[in-house]
Amino acid sequence: MTKKKIQVILLSGVILVALFLIYWFYFSKPTDFPSDQQLAKEINQIFPKADVDTIQDTIILDSEHVFVPFVSSNEEYGSSYWTWEKHKWKPVYINTVGDPLVWRIDSKDPSSSFIVWNIHPRDNVNYMRFYMIRDRGYHISYGIHTYIPQIQMEKQLSLKEQGYGVLKLPIEWGNFLTRANRLAKAQNPNVTFNSLLPDASVYIGWMPYNSDDELVFPENSVNGHGFINGDIETDFVRLLNEIDLE
Amino acid sequence: MVYSNVVTIIATIVAWLIIGGLVLIKHKKLQDKPKLWKVILIVIVGMFSFTINLNFQGVSMRIPILPLGVLLLMFAFRNKGESWQKYRIYAWIGFLGQFIFILTSLLTIPVNSVLYPEEELSTYIANTHNANIIQTHPSGEEYSLNKEILSKQIKSMKQESVYSEQWYQELTVNPDSTKVNERFPYVVIDTLPKWGSGFEGLIYLEKDGKGLLVSTAAGQYYFRGEVSVLMEEQR
């Protein structure tokens, strides 16, 4: 009798410890964000090419996601994306440049995404325009017509004070995206979507301007080296020309 | 038509109730009552069959071709001939259940077309209390939505044809002008569709404020009204 009781107690003990460990590992709340020195050290250990010299800032996007722009000893302006997972802060993506990227911090809610960037001062970008675009189209099948109106929404941002920054997806963009995504899912109920934009014809783009209102090519902020160190969901931000807009 | 709405949910519930009813009726008739949990298990296994998926009028159905579950049970009971006699009927009820599901699914088609007619705007917009518009193209003006006018016109707006190719061509064949006018530069948000309709989609508003292009999983519907629902921005 007592042998059985001991077994039951031991088993419950093991289960409890296991549950606690699972909670601690996967679900516990974040501890303090590492200091700048620790951040630089960790980035350089994981991806030496980043060659971090100075951490520019730590921008909190939500309780588990932080964007950290940095300058390398080679005067390159790079970007690192930190996520709280498995009980530590981890740089899930590092890049030696900071061309704008859409970071989907909540895959279930694309409207909570952020556009993040770190533009090199030598590119002389004074302000940027971001666009969310869906090209016009139409299709006819079995005599049923579908017209797809053009979507083109703009958001302008000044870069005067600092070359790095984050932009939460504008409310109207989120409004449109949420509905467009629900429609896309209703049209394809058996497909799982892996992008911000299940409606694959929607994309986000940008145009950088200098202080003379001219479009510039930000050569120091693009074509860098990226390093993926974990799970991250991002979307490309296309560089646009005036000809791409209406 | 619509994938998951009140009608399809009720149809599923009704199908299960019928199956459950058949099982209970059979169960009551027998003197030598078999255990109920065994019966339920056998019914569920009996439902398992090789099916092909078919889409009819927007309703997806699984047509059973082979009663795999029943065959499986026959094999499992091959040495217990007597109890198979008892349980056999329940396995077939399970298989019959698949057909009951098909029947109720088919019935949703006429019910849906009566309750949620796809050619009427009121199916897609029933409540404009929190409605608003967002401008989705630069060729729109900074107007806002007149909820009262929209609300009043819901019943009177008539369905018209979508001329997708024509509308597309009208705009793109204009190489010299830099400013392109989009026919539908606004999207209506925060309206509520008819309760239970399961409508998920986008509602575009025409530049003159009198046309609504409703995009749903089942297709597009275009409605025209007499009065514009746009008004100058209220500051």
Whether A65 and A9 map to the same domain: the answer is: no
Instruction: Tell whether A78 and A89 lie within a shared domain.
Output: yes
Residue in B134, B168, B204 nearest the CB of A138: B168
**A4 and A86 inside one domain:** no
Q: Under an 8 A CB cutoff, do A144 and B219 touch?
A: yes
Cβ-based contacts of A179 with chain B (< 8 Å): 187, 189, 200-202
**With an 8 Å Cβ cutoff, is B136 touching chain A?**
yes
At B11, give phi and psi (nearest 5°): -60, -40
Q: A146 and B215 in contact by Cβ < 8 A? A: yes
Does B58 touch chain A if contact means CB atoms closer than 8 Å? no
The highest-confidence range among A127-131, A137-141, B71-75, B118-122, by mean pLDDT, is: A127-131
What domain range includes position A128?
31-244
Same domain, A16 and A112: no
Cβ contacts (< 8 Å) between A243 and chain B: which residues? none
Q: CB count, 10 Å around CB of A34?
A: 19
Same domain as A121, residue A2: no
- Residues of B in Cβ contact (< 8 Å) with A139: 164
Nearest Cβ partner for A189 among B3, B137, B184: B3
Between vectors from CA B200 to CA A202 and to CA A206, what angle results, nearest 5°? 15
Share of chain A above pLDDT 70, in %: 95
Does the beta carbon of B180 lie under 8 angstroms from any beta carbon of chain A? yes
CA nearest A170 in B: which residue? B134
pTM: 0.82
**Where do the domains of chain B lie?**
6-115, 121-232
Indicate whether A87 and A6 sit together in one domain: no
B146 and B232 Cβ atoms separated by less than 8 Å:
no
Q: Are residues A2 and A79 in the same domain?
A: no
Provide the 8-state DSSP code for A215: B
Name the minimum distance, in Å, from the CA of A135 to any CA of chain B.
11
**Structural domains in chain A (count):** 2
Contact A186 B201 (CB under 8 A): yes
Residue numbers in A near B212 (CB within 8 A): none
Q: Do A17 and A35 fall into the same domain?
A: no
CA torsion, ordered A45, A47, A50, A53, to nearest 10 deg: -10
In this structure, are A60 and A9 located in the same domain?
no
| Closest CB to B200 among A151, A154, A183 | A183
User: Closest approach of chain A CAs to the CA of B17, in angstroms?
Assistant: 26
Side-chain half-sphere CA neighbours of B53 within 13 A: 4
Query: Is residue B160 less than 8 Å (CB to CB) from chain A?
Result: no
Q: What is the pLDDT along chain B (235 residues), one digit of tens a residue?
A: 445 788 888 988 999 999 888 888 887 777 666 777 788 888 888 888 888 888 777 677 888 888 888 888 888 877 777 777 777 888 888 888 888 888 988 888 888 889 888 889 999 999 999 999 999 998 888 899 999 999 999 999 999 999 998 888 887 655 556 678 889 999 999 999 988 888 888 999 999 999 999 998 888 999 999 999 998 876 4
Contact B179 A185 (CB under 8 A): no
Q: Does one domain contain both A24 and A40?
A: no
Give this complex's ipTM. 0.82
β-pair type (A234-239, A98-103): antiparallel
A133 with A50, same domain?
A: yes
Same domain, A230 and A114: yes
B216 vs A contacts (CB less than 8 Å): 183, 186
**Distance from the B201 Cα atom to the nearest Cα atom in chain A, whole angstroms:** 5
